[in-house]
Amino acid sequence: MDRIAALVRQLGHDDFDRREAASEDLAAIGKPALAALRAAAETEDPEVRFRAKRLIALVTSKLYPELRCFKGHTSTVHGVVFSPDGQRALSGSRDKTVRLWDLQTGKAVRCLTGHEENVFCVALSPDGKRALSGADDLTLRVWDVPTGAESRCVRQPCGVGGLAVSADGRQALWGGGGGKAGLLDLATGRALRDLRGHKADASVFGVALSPDGKRALTGGSDQNVILWELETGKALRRFAGHEDYVYCVAFLPDGKRAVSGGYDNVVRLWDLETGKELRRFENHRERVWCLAVSPDGSLLLTGSNDGPARLWDVEAGLELYAFREDFHCASVAISPDGQRALAGGFDHTVRLWQLGR
């Protein structure tokens, strides 16, 4: 650490060759130097700031390389998810299809057709054998992954904009138009619980199930984020703060905190017990469409209209990396091992990135 600090100071040395040598050494050190470089990027010395920012961009680009780009969809990809074993990915698109991808080869293993309108959300069962998709055609469909056959089509009173599957794979949480959200039995297609609390003219796109499966979180266009007790369907708490649509929500693995993002360009971290806002992630310049939390709760991945998906350190509230400026994403996911990220784009592609862990 003393050597890194000395090299950072040397970035502002009067001698050009000394500055260049320090830059080369810090670039070679890589990730261990990032904290000191981020601090240096805020100093008053313009030369140090310039060099530190350039080095941060260089080092982080090597930490988070793009591994693969999946092509096949013909419209915006609104849903992506990793398979439980991390070997495949599922995507859903406005082109009305759901596609299963082999992450190693980049090939489409299967294309699931049947929806008659835009597919807005997808999910996989914990054993990876069933895929779920929700669409504007007022259906939630369940697919057999090994065969690609549609095993169930559940007619809903509205378009389905959000999906989450329980840890035991027996139930699904969904959200949609008309302020509606509910819990569904996947074996029978029967509605188990209606969650009534959003305004009747709202759309519920953000849905999540708590790690213990006892609570749910929903976010809607009425600016509300609501925490629910699933056994009773009772609204336990409302989180106030968003100034526009709430489009995405997620629990942190500790079950004590949650995040939400929306059209006010902000992602907020909440204390579920007190209802207090703990932190804001504010670098996005336009509406936030999607977010995902790493399995250990340390990383947050967000996507927005403003361009790149952004990776954050949850505890520090620090932006770690912005993935390629020319890629605008509508959906994101983090792999079960926390080592890779997926994003579905407005350019009709799905992209896979390495996370610098």
DSSP string, 129-159: SEEEEEETTSEEEEEETTT--EEEEEE-SS-
**Cα 86 from Cα 99, distance rounded (Å):** 15
Residue 243: name the closest of 225, 216, 270 by CA: 225
What are the b/e assignments for 215-224, b being 16+ CB within 10 Å? bbbbbbbbbb
Regarding whether 9 and 97 lie in a shared domain, the answer is no
Examine the fold and report which residue of 63, 82, 98 is the final residue of a domain before the chain moves on.
63
Counted domains in the chain: 2
Regarding whether 138 and 105 lie in a shared domain, the answer is yes
Regarding whether 171 and 33 lie in a shared domain, the answer is no
Regarding whether 151 and 6 lie in a shared domain, the answer is no
Regarding whether 32 and 14 lie in a shared domain, the answer is yes
Predicted local confidence at residue 60, as pLDDT: 80
> Which helix (H) or strand (E) covers residue 15, if one does?
none
Residues of the chain falling short of pLDDT 50: none
Regarding whether 125 and 50 lie in a shared domain, the answer is no
Residue 54: name the closest of 96, 23, 95, 13 by CA: 23
Predicted local confidence at residue 1, as pLDDT: 66
Predicted local confidence at residue 143, as pLDDT: 97
Regarding whether 171 and 31 lie in a shared domain, the answer is no
Structure tokens at 88: 């495949």
Predicted local confidence at residue 349, as pLDDT: 96
Q: Are 207 and 171 in contact (CB under 8 A)?
A: no
Examine the fold and report which residue of 63, 87, 113 is the final residue of a domain before the chain moves on.
63
Q: Are 301 and 341 in contact (CB under 8 A)?
A: yes
Structure tokens at 171: 């139930």
Residue 306 carries which DSSP code? T
**Cα 215 from Cα 122, distance rounded (Å):** 20
CATH number of the structural domain spanning residue 9 = 1.25.10
Regarding whether 205 and 349 lie in a shared domain, the answer is yes
Q: Are 333 and 292 in contact (CB under 8 A)?
A: yes
Regarding whether 145 and 54 lie in a shared domain, the answer is no
> Which helix (H) or strand (E) covers residue 24, if one does?
helix 16-29
Regarding whether 143 and 85 lie in a shared domain, the answer is yes
**Cα 173 from Cα 160, distance rounded (Å):** 10
User: Which residue type occupies 109?
Assistant: V
Regarding whether 158 and 72 lie in a shared domain, the answer is yes
Examine the fold and report which residue of 63, 93, 112 is the final residue of a domain before the chain moves on.
63
User: Which residue range(s) make up the domain with 42?
Assistant: 2-63
Say how many C-beta atoms besides its own lie within 10 A of residue 240's C-beta. Answer: 9
Regarding whether 158 and 43 lie in a shared domain, the answer is no
